[in-house]
Structure 1
Amino acid sequence: MTQPPPPSGPAPGFTAPAAPYTYPTAAAPALPPVYARVPEPAGPATLGVIALVLAALATIGAGIIGVVVALRVAATVGPDLAASGTFDPRLFSPVAGDVLAGELAFWIGTALGVAGFVLGWVAVARRRGRAFGVVAIVIAALGPVLFIGAVAAILGVASAG
């Protein structure tokens, strides 16, 4: 094995620095200062109010129309439906207009309820009537349950006797 050559002096023409070499100190990285996010001021509550009105129209309006239609259908068809013991769609021909009104109330209520639900979430997220938006979300979510529950209860009671 060969030995490395012995150390020699500085190369010809080299001048040593005046001060001994020191490692540079690590400076703090230049990061932008961190500021707390200043929340936007709450805007007008118009969006939340619109969401609440749509949800209330969907729930209350469609519910009232559905209950009235269910009462008329049950009063007309209920006794015949209970007496026949089977479901015959021909029994509903005298109340076809009422059934159509019930379906329209359901679908229009669904569209208004979905609009109220979505606008309620937007109002909450954008701080444009948060309280109204939360109430609109709750009412719009309960609307279908109340509508179907009320109509089913009326039709069930009326057709049972």
Structure 2
Amino acid sequence: MANVPPPENNPPQPLFAPPPQYGQPHYGQPPQFGEYGQQSQYGQPIPPGFAPYPPEATPKKTLGLVAMIIAIAVLILAALASIVIGTAVGPIANRSGNSFSFNTATLTPEQARAFGATGILIVAQIALGSVAGIAAIVLGIIAAAKKRGRSFGVVAIIVAVVAPIVAFIVYIVSIAATLAPA
């Protein structure tokens, strides 16, 4: 028989160990979270099972700023295009009483050639202005909703909504200023 130490020196081992409690580390592993008695960065003890969260980064305001820049560019370019179009249409429009009309069928060949570039500008103003204006509104709404430049986003929404109104007023004023006398 082998030498077996007396039972006093070798206490009986349990057949199985109870499972660790929820949130408790397994035997031999360091704790994952703070223990009572540990101090957090704020001087408060950290309760077990909770880890301190890192501070949230403030969202960047780039989205709202981009939306605002697009909206301001649309406003300025639409107003400039309205001036060019209005001054080109005004001299060849027909004035009658309190209104005016414009008919391309009555243009001479020279006037039609000159007005061709203005027609391209009209299409570009409507198409590009609409696409860029809608993009500025959508980006402004997203920026305001996600707090990624909320104030810039609100300004972008307002400017993009006001841009076609301003462009139309500038167009009418520039036509009226260049209309031939009745």
Which residue matches 1:88?
Answer: 103
Whether 1:51 and 2:71 are equivalent positions in the alignment is: no
Q: For 1:69-84, what aligned pairs fall within 5 Å after superposition?
A: 69-75=85-91, 77-78=92-93, 81-82=94-95
Whether 1:111 and 2:131 are equivalent positions in the alignment is: yes
Aligned equivalents of 1:147, 1:60: Cα separation in 2: 9
TM-score, normalized by length of structure 2? 0.58
Which residue matches 1:60?
Answer: 76
The Cα of 1:59 is off from its aligned counterpart by 1.1
- Given that 1:62 and 1:108 are in contact with CA atoms closer than 8 Å, whether structure 2 keeps it comes out as no
Aligned equivalents of 1:111, 1:143: Cα separation in 2: 13
Percent of residue pairs identical:
27
Aligned equivalents of 2:176, 2:167: Cα separation in 1: 14
Which residue matches 2:152?
Answer: 132
Read off the aligned partner of 1:57 and give its amino acid letter.
A
Match of 2:122 among 97, 102, 116: 102
Read off the aligned partner of 1:122 and give its amino acid letter.
I
Give deviations 1:65-104, integer Å, cap 9, x for gaps: 22122212324x14xx238x86432226241221221221
How many residue pairs get aligned? The number is 118
Give deviations 1:42-79, integer Å, cap 9, x for gaps: 4000000110011111111121122122212324x14x
- Given that 2:64 and 2:143 are in contact with CA atoms closer than 8 Å, whether structure 1 keeps it comes out as yes
Structure with the largest fraction of helix? 1
- Given that 1:57 and 1:109 are in contact with CA atoms closer than 8 Å, whether structure 2 keeps it comes out as no
The Cα of 1:41 is off from its aligned counterpart by 5.5
Higher relative contact order (CA 8 A, sep 6+): 1
TM-score, normalized by length of structure 1? 0.65
Give deviations 1:108-143, integer Å, cap 9, x for gaps: 111111100110010000000011001001100101
Give deviations 1:12-37, integer Å, cap 9, x for gaps: xxxxxxxxxxxxxxxxxxxxxxxxxx
The 3 A distance-change label for structure 1 pair 117 and 99 is same
* Structure 2 segments unaligned to the other structure (5+ residues): 1-55
